[in-house]
Structure 1
Amino acid sequence: MTAKTKAIRPPAITIARSEHARLSNLADMLAERDPHAAEQLAVELDRAKVVDDARMAPGIMRMGSVAEFRIDDEPPQTAELVFPKDADISRQRISVLTPVGAALLGLSAGQSIEWAARDGKVRRLSVIAVHAAVPDAAEAS
């Protein structure tokens, strides 16, 4: 049995319907340019429970939310989950197209997820806390 077949089943995730549609379009548009990132995002979207935006429970990691999380045994980190055009690691804004960004999507505090990094090493991300999305002035207009 290979390491991939022994992998722990990923946790249940929930995504708002509007974000699911927008992220699905993003994955489709990216399929030719960056198939690895597109597939990683598509896999997360395919396994997500999709709910109406108004029914999203608080504390679930969604676009614009800020998470406190730990990767493996590293010190805790804080980052906002954003679309690729808004990513800026110096401002702790992580793209949903990165392995960490895709892993965070739809999780809540106390959940963990494992994934194989490009070097084949299995990484574990554990969510400590999720803070609500702050409306982006650009999207509010």
Structure 2
Amino acid sequence: MKYGSIMLEKKEYVYIKRILNISGYVGDHEIQKSLAKFTEELKTAHILDEAEMPNDVVRLNSIVMVMSDNNWEKTIQIVQPSEKDIKKNKVSILTPMGAALFGYSLNDIIKWDFPTGLKELKIIEVTQQKQEKMLFY
């Protein structure tokens, strides 16, 4: 891991903690497992101000290209749950893929237990989109 632990911007961290508390009632066991692991990772995350955030860290609205250990590549955008749209490759932070990638950086290799089993992913590209105003409930 490039930075030693996952990296999060302060406002995104607060937002994610809030939505994880709300989403504790998700019915799907596999998603619950993934979100529990994500919650554990948040405990050791580096929390930074916006100006300090490295440009190669996966954040909300980041477009990320990943390659799996069985050589498929996929480009997705990590978004708030309300903006998810599989047809446009917009993946919610509350999905196993969104939780697996969030806070990691370019060239990091992530081992994550997906509903289809344990997978190893490598982040091969991170593009930052303009950080839109997040919906705080």
1:19 counterpart letter in structure 2: E
Determine the structure 2 residue equivalent to 1:3. none
Unaligned runs of 5+ in 1: 1-10
Deviation at residue 54 of structure 1 after TM alignment: 1.6
Rg comparison, structure with higher value: 1
Is residue 2:37 matched to residue 1:44?
A: no
Q: Distance in 2 between matches of 1:38 and 1:77?
A: 21
The answer to which of 68-77 and 123-132 deviates more is 68-77
Deviations 1:60-119, CA, capped at 9 Å, x for gaps: 110001011112223211111001111111101011111111111011111011022235
Is residue 2:124 matched to residue 1:128?
A: yes
1:128 counterpart letter in structure 2: I
Q: Distance in 1 between matches of 2:60 and 2:22?
A: 18
Q: Distance in 2 between matches of 1:93 and 1:40?
A: 21
Deviations 1:9-43, CA, capped at 9 Å, x for gaps: xx621010110000000000111235715423312
Determine the structure 2 residue equivalent to 1:111. 108
Out of 14, 22, 34, the position equivalent to 2:7 is: 14
Determine the structure 1 residue equivalent to 2:54. 57
Q: Distance in 2 between matches of 1:38 and 1:103?
A: 9
TM-score (norm 1): 0.80
TM-score (norm 2): 0.83
Q: Secondary structure at the match of 1:130?
A: strand
The answer to which of 71-80 and 92-101 deviates more is 71-80
Out of 12, 21, 25, the position equivalent to 1:28 is: 21
The answer to which of 34-43 and 46-55 deviates more is 34-43
Is residue 2:79 matched to residue 1:99?
A: no
Is residue 2:75 matched to residue 1:78?
A: yes
1:16 counterpart letter in structure 2: E
CA RMSD in angstroms comes to 1.9
Runs of at least 4 residues of structure 1 off by over 6 A? none
- Whether contact under 8 Å (2:65, 2:76) holds in the other structure is yes
